[in-house]
Amino acid sequence: MAQSGKGRLNYRCPSCFLRDLDVDMFFDKEKREYYCLRCQYTGTEADVLRKNKMIRFRYRDMLKRYAEDSFEKFED
């Protein structure tokens, strides 16, 4: 089995990212999968991209645009 390398981008491990850890993954070209050195995650590029977006569940106001004078206005 040959050594692994970086993939197209230096993708982060989705499982670690969800616990506020930015860990670059490496790409196993024989298995065509990314894997994490720190935890047990393995996955395809599509899986990585999909799961790294999971963190957005925290950001309920991610797409909200606040008006300039609204920072002390709270909804009931």
| DSSP character string of 24-43 | B-EEETTTTEEE-SSSS-EE
Binding mask 32-61 for other proteins (x = CB under 8 A): ------x---------xx--xx-xx-xxxx
Least distance (Å) from other proteins to the CB of residue 68?
6
Q: Which amino acid is at 9?
A: L
Which whole-number Å values give the CA distances from 55 to 13, 22, 52, 62, in the listed order?
A: 12, 12, 6, 11
Please count the residues of this chain forming the interface with other proteins, following the rule CB under 8 A: 33
* Binding of residue 22 to other proteins (CB under 8 A): yes
Footprint of other proteins (CB under 8 A): 5-6, 9-12, 20-24, 38, 48-49, 52-53, 55-56, 58-66, 68-69, 71-72, 74-75
